[in-house]
Structure 1
Amino acid sequence: MSAAPPDNDVLWARGIVKSHDGTPALRGISIGVREGEVLAVTGPRGSGKSTLLGCLSAQLPVDEGEVWFNSAPVHTLARAGRERLRRDRFGFVGSEPHLVPELTARENVALPLLLAGAGNKAAYTAADEWLERLDVGDCARLRPERLVQSRRQRVAVARALAPLPPVVFADDPTAPLHREAADQVMRILTSAARSHQLTLVLATHDAELVRFADRAVALVDGRLTAPVAPVPRGTTAPGANGAPAVTATRR
């Protein structure tokens, strides 16, 4: 019988293996994510970051190993159970803003709240608030086809945050954004996570975004390597004199 995951880990995985069409993507990954933590998963393209988020978020079944959410096994769930878990407990932002084309931005953001049983007034009020926070309040009544990609991505972020799910998975969420907009979106994502005690798992190949995380790990060829030390906000990265970076502390 396997050991139970630690009580303070909202997500916990042990020895997970996943392949795509016979090509190994994850090779025995074990990792824990604490409740309320902002964790960055870094690594080059093709290193397994998206696959890891897919396994942790119940989008992908693992080939081997265990995945737990709040001390309940995810790896034993059938497809319907994984779908309910994603709908009820997780938020997700990808590198492409997959919005419902027939709905306005406001309706897209309100949709997960309505599916969870919220009333119309509460759902649309929350949608309006999050669209304003993401600086796309003026897009509320527009459909995705009338928005440029960067604005669609902000709507997608608002949709993921509006229900305040216990865990938000963000897979390269700033890919369509320029640097200033990317930093703004990351500030909103991380401040929302910390103020509402949400857990945020971020996959990125952009080293600049690691500074927003409490902790970072690196993937190379489907294996975890040495931890990455984020540079705390308000400090500078190590310079040519070789001064060491300081690992960000938990908040």
Structure 2
Amino acid sequence: MVSPPDIAPPDNDVLWASSLHYSHSGAPGLVGVSLGVRQGEILALTGPRGSGKSTLLRCLSGQLRPSEGEIWFNSVPVHTMGDLARERLRRDRFGWIGPEPQLLPELKVWENAALPLLLSGASHRSAKHAACEWLDRLDIAGLARKRPAALTRAECQRVALARALVTVPSVIHADEPTAPLHRAEGALLLRTLTTAARSHDITVLLATDDEATAAVADRSLALVDGRLAGTAPAASPLPDTPEGQAACSLSA
């Protein structure tokens, strides 16, 4: 059987996914998830731990390849890209911040923040200038020449946000970015993220199980057991028993 051709998403959706499925060692992680996100929109993905939020973000950002379904970014099919093309997409067009800063300990703070630009071939001078601008907005410009070991956890998370913003990406995938932070530090991080998104027309996908964090978004989608809330699983067949056969007879 010949597979039908991919259908491009609506023009006003910068990121669009259809019928995504993904399994973790046989256990379902995503089950038929579909969504569309507009340019400049802040979308919160909510749900309890284990509901599929992180898996969905990693699929949408090209870190994981879904077993079924389509993902489109600006009408380009991400699901058919090779590894190198997806890596380039994550570096140049997407930003990522998770609950762990994942800074390189041997690099200075400004180098960690500038890393996506340095990897893309930007000059040392321009990359440092852009990184220091974001560090200044996050009130940590004075730490630019220090290394991560000298920073607090909250300061490291701000550096991670500067790194996500330094390329002024089209989309930022934020996976529980405030989870390790106290309320005040988390509020500062969210304020910088949302202000940058509004001023630079950046789309943000924000995974969180915190209601106050989700409240900064334009809208929310809830996940439960790998499905969008309200998406019912397929009905189980009736057992091959006299009771089951009787039920079939009554419904006929």
TM-score of the superposed pair, with normalisation by structure 1? 0.88
CA distances 1:13-35 after superposition (whole Å, capped 9, x unpaired): 00000000001010000000111
Quick check: which has more Rg, 1 or 2?
A: 2
Is 1:20–2:24 an aligned residue pair? yes
Q: How does 1:20-59 map to 2 (within 5 A)?
A: 20-59=24-63
Q: How does 1:47-196 map to 2 (within 5 A)?
A: 47-196=51-200
Asked if structure 2 preserves the Cα contact closer than 8 Å seen for 1:16 and 1:62, the reply is yes
Gaps of 5+ in 1: 228-251
Q: Secondary structure at the match of 1:99?
A: coil
CA distances 1:187-241 after superposition (whole Å, capped 9, x unpaired): 11011011001111110111111121111110010111159xxxxxxxxxxxxxx
**Equivalents in 2 of 1:157, 1:4: separation in Å?**
31
**Equivalents in 2 of 1:81, 1:116: separation in Å?**
13
Moved beyond 6 Å, runs of 4+:
none
Q: Report the counterpart of residue 245 of structure 1 in structure 2.
A: none
**Equivalents in 1 of 2:73, 2:62: separation in Å?**
10
**Equivalents in 2 of 1:121, 1:142: separation in Å?**
18
Asked if structure 2 preserves the Cα contact closer than 8 Å seen for 1:47 and 1:221, the reply is yes
* Alignment coverage as a number of residue pairs: 227
Asked if structure 1 preserves the Cα contact closer than 8 Å seen for 2:206 and 2:214, the reply is no
Q: Percent identity?
A: 59
Asked if structure 2 preserves the Cα contact closer than 8 Å seen for 1:57 and 1:86, the reply is yes
Asked if structure 1 preserves the Cα contact closer than 8 Å seen for 2:54 and 2:175, the reply is yes
Gaps of 5+ in 2: 232-252
Asked if structure 2 preserves the Cα contact closer than 8 Å seen for 1:217 and 1:226, the reply is no
TM-score of the superposed pair, with normalisation by structure 2? 0.87
Cα RMSD for the two superposed structures: 1.3
Asked if structure 2 preserves the Cα contact closer than 8 Å seen for 1:106 and 1:124, the reply is yes
**Equivalents in 2 of 1:58, 1:10: separation in Å?**
14
